[in-house]
Structure 1
Amino acid sequence: MHQGLYAKWMYAWETALTTRDTNRIVRPLEWGFDWLEGDSPLTAIASGDGDLRRMADLNAAIVAHADEFFSYETPADFRIEQRHPQLFPTNVRPETLAQDAELKRQAETGELEEAEFLRFTSAVRTRYAENDQVNARWYPAPEPSAKEKAKRQGKPKQAIVVMPQWNADAFSHNALCTLFNRFGISALRLSKPYHDIRRPAELERSDYAVSSNIGRTLQACRQAVVDIRSCLDWLEQQGYEQFGVLGTSLGSCYAFIAAAFDARLKVCAFNHASTWFGDVVWQGQSTRHIRAAFEQAGLTQEQVRELFAVISPMSYMQRFAAHPKRTLVVHATYDLTFPLELSLDVLKNFDALGIDYVSKVLPCGHYTTGETPFKYLDGWYLGSFVHGAFKKLARG
């Protein structure tokens, strides 16, 4: 009985959090073939009759030749910028707007310190100049004391790329980066495509990262994966030798695919994970407005799964398993955004492929992960795993 009451309470809390924002927009289905033109000659492979079959065939063709789709040239304009941090909120709730205004006031009066940001032009170009300027807040590990230097002699320089959730503001996950610094691990907190400073002025939310425009959503994932790998290139140029990636929700999807295609990523933390991108869009509370567009166009869940195969972790499970790495998967029992069965499917596939992983379970939902007390439990899982995994990696 108590279990039932707790579940009912948790589902009600989760639903309240996923419905409090009123600026989600139902946009009509767009196939978005034009967003993939020039990305790859694979666009010419699709031969199906009709837009639905053509896009499904294109997904299958790209998955079969994914090395080409996620290939890139290292950017040539890496630079560090100093500027005041800004919030870039994605909701219009009064408390959020007040926080944004206060940060701007502090910047104007000199109360807010400037921060360092890695900037460069993405190797994947879109129609938005602001989106194509990659942004990653830089958290270099502090220089150790003389005593600590002696203890760390011979230890490789280590760094992690951190990718927050969909529609995260620019302060999300910054606390994790400062925590990693305490372990001697540097961190790049990467802004995903169409997020915070990369968000086009026409948007209130980061809608173009995931939307009812299929081609644009696929391209956003490609850009995110390439941006992660480009960050590793810059870190290597700075003398770093061992690398990890941490992603939450949508960031977890991007992080998984990056790790599947880049053997340099030896430490992986997936904070909420799923096998099929399309199933999350169809079943998740956070994407009800996108499902509505697909239903209006007469699509089914199975068809939507096919249309997003290119950006589904399930498509690259064997590739992910091909190189040894230390992996954490965190999922939530009462998740209404990444349904539980999809997270358990990740673990099932990891078991089948013999992937070395640690599983941690949160007694909450997707959005409630960011609420007290669950955010502290999640932070403990992520922090302790990353610390221990990098420690073992250095010894190895």
Structure 2
Amino acid sequence: TPIDGVPTDLRSFATIGQRGVRLLLADSTNAERTGYVPSEVTVGERLDEIVSHAEGRILVACFASHVHRVQQAVDAVVRDRRKFAFIGRSMLRNSEIAMDLGVLDIPEGSLVDLNELVDMPDSQTAIISTGNQGEPFAALSLMAAGEHRSISLSEDDTVIISATPIPGNETRVSRVINNLYRAGVKVFHGRNTHVHVSGHAAAEELKTFYNVVRPDALVPVHGEYRHMVANAALGREMNIPEVEICEDGDMVVLEDGELRVERGAIAAGYVYVDGTEVGGADSIIRDRRHLADDGVLIVTIGVDFSTGEILIGPDIDSHGVTTDDDDLHAIIKERVEQSVASLEVPIDPDHLRTRIRNSAMRAVKKTVKRRPVVLPVVIEV
């Protein structure tokens, strides 16, 4: 029962299946979930109930791409005779596109600019925003942290997070919800009331689809590995002849009527974007992790290479190594001076840098049990 009255066209899928489907790639996100996903319409009923009982301002956070959910949020606040505004770049962009295409119906005069909305009584207003996954710079996260430039939350506000966390986002979403509670607002979300239904097919829906399409082969996609394993089990239960579980980098080959999987055929993984560079070297990432874990230590020294006499420093500067800098720096300075004094003259600059790095590293490890990045700066005087 979709809210636009257009149900899934299983007849057309069956027609495609009759022509023959060699390979089906199917979403696995809810493959572990038994039964069927409730109708989207049921969410609208709960939204209506919450909005009608709210005393102050209403804030609804949902996926900007979920036009039906945005429509239900709009319908709920308009029925309560509220004006509303969209917040968030993707929400503004997607709602504009949806309105242009005629798939988002907004009654005339109900949508206002945010600058106009903030001057209205809270009991007559609502905001539909992004940020349901706890994105750090999304509108809801900024409001929860008290950092939004236009909206400050009050105890009469009601926040509806019309979503559940995507696997991996649980901590960020929980942080936002905790901050909302600290602000004193009422919070409704997908784990404490029925304000969300999944858009991903549950097990019985997947089995129905497999029975309609009847593919020759199935490769589960979109989900964690355990979800794809569950989806593969459903495929085998529905007697799909070939079922393969693949990971990033695997290549599925259809050739001469046969299907085969070439494991790890393509290099796949994270692609790092660093300023203007794309695909940074692993060594750079390792160095930055090292800096983050153990800090950095800089030793600056000026030496007469011909005599071995120290004329400048050694000066020690450290970041992220210890809170007791002075004592550690004194120990490092003494060890570096001893190391320089033991070198034969004339001093080789590369040998000097290595000796400084090693002596400083040993001093730090013995004193605070850490291994910072040591950068020797040697000046020939």
- Shorter-chain TM-score bucket reads under 0.3
The structure that has the greater radius of gyration is: 2
Q: Which has the higher strand share?
A: 2
Q: Judging by fraction of residues, say which structure has more helix.
A: 1
What TM-score does the superposition give when structure 1 sets the normalisation length?
0.23
